[in-house]
Each structure stands twice: as C-alpha cells, then as structure tokens.
Amino acid sequence: KTKIDKYCSVLVEECDKMNKLIQELLDYSRLDIFSATLLISTIGLVIFLEKNKINKEPAEKTIKPAMR
C-alpha cells in the first residue's frame, strides 16, 4: 500500500467510528443543551488527538496560528 492508501484507510476507519458515535448520540433524544455541547466538544477533542496520533506531530504544529 502507498502512504496515501494507508492514510485513506485510517481516515475511513475513523469516519466510521465517528459516524457510529454520532448515531448513538442522536439516540439520546433527552439530552439537554449542556450535555449535548459537552459531548460535541469531546468528539472534537478526540478527533484532534487522533489526528495528532496519526501524524505523529506535536500539537503545536497542527494548531493554526490564528487559533493560538
């Protein structure tokens, strides 16, 4: 496999995981707005951490300068 093929397969796996998680979250129709916001923030953090794990780069290299 090429480097791009490996990256794409990891990306597909991660998207499948996120899709499953989002579907599970949608099943919780009784969530209040605070809980929903907290869960969405957690998903964002997991994506960020997974991205850095895949790239094996320090977090400061992946954060856009405008976000600092």
Distance (Å, whole) CA 19 – CA 40: 13
pLDDT digits (tens, 9 = 90+) for 7-60: 888 888 888 888 888 877 777 666 677 777 887 888 888 888 877 775 555 555
Q: Looking at residue 60, what is its pLDDT?
A: 52
pTM: 0.40
Question: Nearest to residue 19, comparing CAs of 2, 50, 54, 43?
Answer: 43
Strand (E) or helix (H) holding 49: helix 33-55
Asked if residues 11 and 19 have their Cβ atoms less than 8 Å apart, the reply is no
Distance (Å, whole) CA 43 – CA 50: 10
